[in-house]
């Protein structure tokens, strides 16, 4: 996703939230949200996997982080990508949408990239690790007060995060 698409998505998200009326709050102060997840929209040859966690610091602001990893190899070639990110998310708690939690956020991450190859003519390794800034658009649909389906769209504003989205199941603790 390029920066222009991310900006349009974020603006659309904010406008919808701004015109919505007050409703039930699915995101609540003091709760902890843990989401095992798998990624998609990645550039690698395997499915990214990991988890995200978030703590509700206020009635609509959550802080947390995520870790995602993927590993793949072919004959003479192996790669790995591990992403670690800290995030701050704003939850649109005034939406009149029962069982749904929509949020947008930003994060600071670090990608650890490693590539090793043996072409028969040469052998080597390289790494393109680095810091990146990400945007997050997310939604949770609550099946019960303690469990929800989660979908997150992740865009990298700088550097490389390796995947574009993640889906999982959120467990609400507390």
Instruction: Please tell me the predicted confidence (pLDDT) of residue 85.
Output: 94
Per-residue pLDDT tens for 96-133? 778 899 999 999 999 888 888 776 665 555 566 888 88
Instruction: Please tell me the predicted confidence (pLDDT) of residue 17.
Output: 46
Q: Is the confidence at residue 152, as pLDDT, over 70?
A: yes
How many CB atoms neighbour CB 161 within 10 A?
Answer: 24
Would you say 114 and 39 are in contact if contact means Cβ atoms under 8 Å apart? no
How many CB atoms neighbour CB 8 within 10 A?
Answer: 10
* 92 Cβ contact list (under 8 Å, min separation 6): 13, 17, 20, 60, 102, 103, 104
Instruction: Please tell me the predicted confidence (pLDDT) of residue 84.
Output: 93
The CATH number given to 3-69+86-107+130-173 is 2.40.160.20
Per-residue pLDDT tens for 35-81? 999 987 656 667 889 999 999 999 999 999 999 998 888 777 788 88
Q: Is the confidence at residue 7, as pLDDT, over 60?
A: no
| Domain coordinates in residue numbering, the chain | 3-69+86-107+130-173
d(CA 148, CA 18): 24
Say what the pTM is.
0.78
Beta bridge partners of 138: 103, 152
């Amino acid at each position: 996703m390029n920066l222009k698409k991310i900006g349009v998505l974020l603006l659309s998200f904010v406008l919808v939230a701004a015109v919505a009326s007050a409703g039930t709050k699915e995101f609540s102060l003091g709760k902890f949200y843990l989401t095992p997840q798998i990624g998609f929209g990645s550039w690698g040859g395997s499915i990214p996997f990991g988890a995200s966690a978030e703590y509700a610091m206020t009635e609509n602001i959550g802080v947390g982080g995520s870790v995602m990893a993927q590993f793949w190899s072919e004959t003479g070639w192996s790669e790995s990508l591990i992403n670690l990110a800290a995030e701050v998310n704003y939850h649109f708690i005034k939406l009149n949408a029962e069982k749904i939690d929509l949020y947008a956020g930003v994060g600071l991450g670090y990608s650890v990239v490693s590539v090793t190859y043996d072409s028969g003519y040469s052998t080597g390794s390289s790494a393109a690790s680095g810091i990146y800034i990400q945007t997050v658009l997310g939604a949770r649909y609550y099946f019960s007060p303690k469990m929800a389906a989660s979908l997150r769209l992740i865009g990298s504003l700088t550097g490389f995060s390796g995947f574009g989205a993640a889906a999982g199941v959120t467990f609400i603790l507390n």
